[in-house]
Amino acid sequence: MSDNREVDLNDFHLFQLIAQHGSLSGAAQHADLTVAAVSARLKRIEHELQVRLVDRTTRSARLTAEGERFLQTCEAMTMTWSRGHAQLHGTARAVDGLVRVAAPSDTSLQLLCTWTDEYTLRHPGARVMVFVGDRMHDFNRDAVDIAIRYGELKDSSMVGRLLTRCERVVVASPAYLQRAGLPRTPADLLQHRCLAWLRRDQPKVQWSFGLPDGRTESIVVSPVLCGDGAMVRAWAVAGAGVAYKARVDVELDIREGRLTRLLPEFTGEAVPITAVIPSRRYVPTRVRSMLKYLSERYAMI
């Protein structure tokens, strides 16, 4: 090959037209090009391959032996491209293949563990890989299709779909409350063992509440134990102290009596839960399907 541009798929198509029509003018008319443009591209192809492919006359174009062999290559390449194009578009329209979801540990263990099993039973061709952890995933670095994130999105370039907006609630186990007593106001929490989860590697120590009269009150706790969301929930269930958690993460524990909601007349801060995707362009069906499913499931909590 020379240092010029290499032969591309459009060249393969054009060469097939020359062979099909037996003339440069016929190929030019079909491709909506001038004869001069077709002739120039044919010369460039021959220059790239360093071989004469077509014997031209003013009326016809006859393939040389090398041209016949090159035509076979063109047909194989265009057929492979068409087959691959069809397969990709068929896959893009089907709920099929791997969906990679990154989610906080508490969400993964409490919700996604069951939901992903149900989703794959609903869509047998789909596979789901869940990356568990509270750290923020970088789409440019990590192979992730969907990242579930708590809190407001700081990066305006992110493409997010709001799954739900729920309040944080204060919870503790019945065993802990029997030992430590029942708090009556947010300020009473300062006298309790508080369990904090890490947010951007820092403990979430400011707990905010809406008061019955419409005012807002915030307290700053000195946490006894800090951990990720799942660990804080586990500590609370075990009776280690009081936790301030998103309601969706402890709803089942409250319902089944493992945890008791405290200060129900005070409204915890609202936390948006968002599904973030790398781009809104060319989103595969398998990813759109999972987003729709997650929206449905969160709406049911």
Report the b/e string of 28-65 with b at 16+ CB within 10 A: beebebeeeebbebbeebbebbeeebbeeeeeebebee
Q: What H or E segment, with its residue span, contains residue 21? A: helix 9-21
> Do 216 and 286 share a domain, yes or no?
no
Range of the domain at 113: 97-164+272-299
Residue 91 has pLDDT above 60, yes or no: no
Give residues with Cβ within 8 angstroms of 265, minimum separation 6: 212
pLDDT, position 2: 42
Please, what is the average pLDDT of the chain? 87
> Do 59 and 196 share a domain, yes or no?
no
Residue 212 lies in a domain: yes
Report the b/e string of 134-172 with b at 16+ CB within 10 A: beebebeeeebbbbbbbeeeeeeeeebeebbebebbbbb
pLDDT, position 270: 92
Residue 127 lies in a domain: yes
Q: Closest Cα to residue 132, out of 115, 158, 113?
A: 113
| Helix, strand, coil percentages for the chain (3-state, nearest 5) | 45, 25, 30
- Look at residues 46, 64, 92 and tell me which one is the last residue of a structural domain: 92
Residue 9 has pLDDT above 50, yes or no: yes
Determine the 3-state secondary structure of 284 from DSSP. Answer: coil
Give the mean pLDDT of 121-129.
90
> Do 295 and 239 share a domain, yes or no?
no
> Do 171 and 266 share a domain, yes or no?
yes
Residue 1 lies in a domain: no
Residue 113 lies in a domain: yes
Give the bridge partners for 132, in sequence order: 103
Residue 255 lies in a domain: yes
Confidence of residue 109 (pLDDT cuts 50, 70, 90): confident
> Do 143 and 288 share a domain, yes or no?
yes
Determine the 3-state secondary structure of 273 from DSSP. Answer: strand
Count up the domains in the chain and report the number: 3
265: left (phi over 0), alpha (psi -120 to 50) or beta: alpha
Give the mean pLDDT of 32-42.
90
> Do 170 and 266 share a domain, yes or no?
yes
On whether the pTM is more than 0.75, the answer is no
In terms of C-beta distances under 8 Å and separation of at least 24 residues, what long-range contacts does 26-31 make, across chains too?
A: 27/61
Confidence of residue 86 (pLDDT cuts 50, 70, 90): low
> Do 171 and 214 share a domain, yes or no?
yes
> Do 207 and 245 share a domain, yes or no?
yes
